A = this chain, B = another copy of it.
Amino acid sequence: MNVPAIPRAAGANPGALLIRQLLEVPLAQFPEREIVYAGHTRLDYRRFGERVARLGSALTRLGVRAGQTVAVLDWDSHRYLECFFAVPMLGAVLHTVNIRLAPEQILYTINHAEDDVILVHADFVPLVEGIRARIERPVQLVLLADAAGAAAPAGGAGEYEALLAAADPAFAFPDDLPEDARATTFYTTGTTGQPKGVYFSHRQLVLHTLAERAAVLGTGQGHVGQNDVYMPITPMFHVHAWGFPYTATTLGMKQVYPGRYLPEVLLRLIATEGVTFSHCVPTILHLLLTHPLAAGTDLSGWKVVIGGGALPQALARAALARGIDVFGGYGMSETCPLLTLAQLEAPMLERPFEQQLALRCKAGRAIPLVELRVVDPELRDVAHDGASQGEVVVRAPWLTQGYWRDAAAGAALWAGGWLHTGDIGTLDAEGYLKITDRVKDVIKTGGEWISSLALEDLLLRHPAVAEAAVIALPDERWGERPFALVVPKAGQELDPAALHALLADCAAQGLISKYGVPERIEVVEALPKTSVGKLDKKAMRAHWTP
């Protein structure tokens, strides 16, 4: 027989949307496509499907049942992808642990999510050992190791490959899961309070995958086909690497999982594995482009979605000059995450370069099934003129229904029946969203709204500026005034007066309001960041407010 399909148990629910279905088509149609881990482990989809079944069998033998939670602490790997499928396919919940959090925060999420099993890479065994006494539930630890001889956690349940080798390759996953079963959870860190758990059901992840797939496929700029080669450069713990591993798998794409995000490893994999499609935050792309290895690496034709922050025009220019097809996207942990993509359709590729560049650097247009609005505080739409600002609110069938075990925060998120992103933006007549600020970072001065992001983008145009942050400081006369912090590039000098002149010049050109030019610009050595590398404006306000 040798039918490369996931075996099914009886009791089917033929209309339900289940994660298992994302795996059916690629196993039947692309059994020989490759999945590569860190350049050394290679498997084809047929073997991947068998390993997913073995993992389901192994976890069941460890006692995992529907409704329990399985946590993972790993670098980006084929193992992680196996967990993306096998854990929810058992009816259990996959907790993708943010390994960049402080140990105390990781402990908090493990206890809050009520993890039953933790799969932990050897690199994180010391971390887990350090907090283990304070994990509130009995928990089984499984070691993930890239080489023999890795130190296993004391009293662990075994090593991943050994457990898989002993497991049943024809394990039958349950076929009667309800589509609303919780499938994954991830903890998002705001700049206040403890991490909050967002969660997504089978139905939500299938719909997100289908819409993401429909949004990225196509014949124009920024679109992909089944023969593209995918490598994530947003970690798999972070809302499932933005859902793209599910999308790439269901398309049967060749996939490359890089392990740790070391620039030299990423650049080497792009070249040796023929990577053509990735996604990352602006900082990572900047790191890659400025790495010494980049000069000798052919990056042309590489399609890169930038999210987690606006794509700065300077970075887009540098990437386009290398032949990289770079464009923005937008979403957040609460939205699974994809909401918009800034691809250009064919007629737009006829426009002048600067207009194309501006479009690529926007958040983009709603993907299928996303209802995207920019509204005033009474939830009335602002004009779609590319200038009127308001809060971005959305609906889509895959948004988190709330925060796990935190009903009050969830109710605030969904005030008025729309998910409030907390972002300020504009919509233009072609449906392009541009994020101009965070609701809490916008500077309200003399009755006007000044975008801190717009000021930062202008400051970054100065050749000696490496990083910039603009915050609001209280002002007796104007309510608030902008205050700019800039970090010079290594070995370069920065004169605040020159930056002030640059911004005043921008105001004279109409790029910003003249009220937007900050009186105070300070040169600093570094800016405070959150655990995921975003500017920590709350810390800056706390430090700089008189």
The interface of chain A, by Cβ under 8 A from chain B, is 1-3, 5, 12, 14-17, 21, 24-25, 28-29, 31, 206-207, 210-211, 213-214, 217-220, 223-227, 250, 345-347, 365-372, 381, 383-384, 395, 397, 399, 401, 414, 417-419, 427, 429-431
* Residues of B with C-beta under 8 A to A2: 383-384
A381 nearest in chain B by CB position: B3
Closest to A252 in B: B345
Which of B24, B217, B429 is within 8 Å of A31, CB to CB?
B429
| 15 more A-B residue pairs beyond the given contacts A14-B399, A25-B368, with a C-beta to C-beta distance below 8 A | A1-B381, A3-B383, A12-B417, A14-B419, A17-B207, A17-B397, A25-B366, A25-B369, A28-B365, A28-B372, A213-B214, A214-B214, A217-B223, A218-B225, A227-B345
Neighbouring B residues of A417 by C-beta, 8 Å: 12, 14
**What's the nearest-Cβ distance from chain B to residue A486, in Å?**
37
Closest residue on chain B to residue A213 by CB atoms = B214
A367 and B24 alpha carbons, distance in the complex (Å): 10
Query: Distance (Å) between the CB of A173 and the closest chain B CB?
Result: 13
Known contacts A1-B381, A225-B346; A397 and B16 CB within 8 A of each other: yes
A301 to chain B, nearest CB (A): 12
* A1 → chain B closest CB, angstroms: 6
Q: Of the candidates B25, B227, B395, which one forms a contact with A12 in the assembled complex, judged by CB atoms under 8 Å apart? A: B395
Are B365 and A29 in contact, with the CB atoms below 8 A?
yes
Task: Report the minimal beta-carbon distance from A419 to chain B, rounded to whole angstroms.
Answer: 8
* Majority-rule SS of A interface residues: loop
Instruction: For the complex, give the distance between the alpha carbons of A479 and B14 in Å.
Output: 37
Contacts of A346 in B (CB 8 A): 225-227
Partner of A371, one of B17, B21, B29, B226: B21
Min CB gap A339→B, angstroms: 12
A371 vs B13: C-alpha distance when bound (angstroms): 12
Q: How far is the CB of A508 from chain B (nearest CB, A)?
A: 32
**B227 adjacent to A347 (CB under 8 Å):** yes
In contact, A217 and B220 (Cβ under 8 angstroms): no
The answer to whether A218 touches B226 (Cβ under 8 A) is: yes
Residues on the B chain within 8 Å of A211, using CB: 210
**Contact present for B217 and A29 (CB under 8 Å):** no
Q: Which residues of B contact A429 (CB under 8 A)?
A: 31
- CB within 8 A of A369: which of B21, B217, B397? B21
**Contacts of A384 on B, CB cut-off 8 Å?**
2-3, 28
Query: Quick check: B210 and A214 within 8 Å, CB to CB?
Result: yes
Docked-complex contact A218 and B220, CB < 8 angstroms = no
Name the residue of chain B whose CB is nearest to the CB of A3.
B381
Chain B residues contacting A1 (CB-CB under 8 Å) are 381, 383
Name the B residues within 8 Å of A226 (CB-CB). 218, 220, 345-346
B residues within 8 A CB of A365?
Answer: 25, 28-29
